[in-house]
Amino acid sequence: MVPRPRARFLPPEEVSVSSAPTEGSPEAFLRHLRLERGCGENTLRAYAADLRSWGDFCRRHALSPHVPSEEGVVRWVKDLELQGLGRATIQRRLAALRSWGRFLQETGQDSGERWMPPLPVKGRTLPQVLSEGEVERLFRACEGSHPLDLRDRALLELAYGCGLRASELAGVRLADLDASAGILRVRGKGDKERLVPFLGSVRDQVVNYVTHYRPKGIPESEDALFLSRSGSSLGREDVWRIVQKRGKAAGIPASRLHPHVLRHSFATHLIRRGMDLRTLQELLGHSSVTTTQIYTKVTIDRLREVYAESHPRALG
């Protein structure tokens, strides 16, 4: 059988649905992920970055990126470890390489047996969460009359009150808010939509920001809820900077702050107050309840600590 010519291995920074990528190329794979599997932009960028990492390594070491060898992948993993990448990141990159290989087989671009890199065991770490008191301190760190103070307070209230990912928070549009019904429309991973309650102080803070402090005179095309000082929409990195800035002002150690800290705190606090897993799964937008169960482990660990400190029979 005459082998098919290999496409140039150069995953793009952005994936276009209007272009016609070369058959069997990484671009064709990314297009498949978008159109056939409904992957969102963040997922596509992650896959492209992972495949670029493999392609760059192969170019540096004169290896073929199209047919991964066991020796080549082992060397790549060692190279990633030397760069200081964590186990979860390395696992994701190997998973991307495996997915691309399966795509080639399923589309007939690669006949015969293909060696698939095994996935390393991924350590399951418990999410860092803030106490309810620390969340209140974070909100108080936004006190002030400056529009950015009010914006940041509304942003943090919405992140904690609705359990949003950083990307979901940055992606909220004015049309997603239904203050009268107390409902927020959220676009999650893979552009999946869910509706979450939007009530109490969360709604009050957001409505106050939109009514009085969101920049005026902005073109209708710029309908993002949270805007910068110049009137442009915020990105995930901006959300992270706001969490860091207000967390520092609240006296919360930087080691305990991360982009999803308020989402994890939202879930953990609801579990501690008696919410069932299925309802929490719907609120968080998890495809599987197995993902949601991590928060019960956080709660059980905390209960164990309190028991050990408080119960007279806890010490042997």
Q: What is the CATH number of the domain that holds 217?
A: 1.10.443.10
pLDDT-derived band at 262 (thresholds 50, 70, 90) equals very high
Q: Of all residues in the chain, what percent carry a pLDDT higher than 70?
A: 80
Domain-embedded: residue 315: no
Q: Give me the mean pLDDT over the 68-96 stretch.
A: 87
In a shared domain, residues 75 and 157: no
Confidence of residue 5 (pLDDT cuts 50, 70, 90): very low
HEC profile of 108-154: CCCCCCCCCCCCCCCCCCCCCCCCHHHHHHHHHCCCCCCHHHHHHHH
What number is the average pLDDT over the span 71-85?
89
Q: Would you please indicate which residues are annotated as catalytic (active-site) residues? A: 165, 189, 260, 263, 286, 295
- Of 73, 96, 120, the one marking the end of a domain is 120
The mean per-residue pLDDT over the stretch 54-68 comes to 85
The vertex-145 CA angle with 142 and 148, nearest 5°, equals 60
Which of 106-115, 164-173, 216-225 is least confident? 106-115
Amino acid letter, 134: E
Determine which of 8-22, 80-94, 207-221 has the lowest per-residue pLDDT on average: 8-22
The residue among 120, 155, 176 that closes a domain is 120
Length of the chain: 316
Count how many domains the chain has.
2
Mean pLDDT of the chain: 82
Q: What domain range is 97 assigned to?
A: 1-120
191, pLDDT greater than 90: no
Q: Do 99 and 145 have their domain in common?
A: no
Q: Is the pTM of this model over 0.75?
A: no
Q: Is the predicted pLDDT of residue 306 greater than 80, yes or no?
A: no
Structure-token pair, residue 254: 């930087």
Per-residue tokens: 201: 């102080």
pLDDT score at 258: 81
Q: CA-CA distance, 280 to 266, in Å (whole number)?
A: 10
Q: Which of 39-48, 112-121, 204-213, 256-265 has the highest mean pLDDT?
A: 204-213
Residue 17: per-residue pLDDT: 43
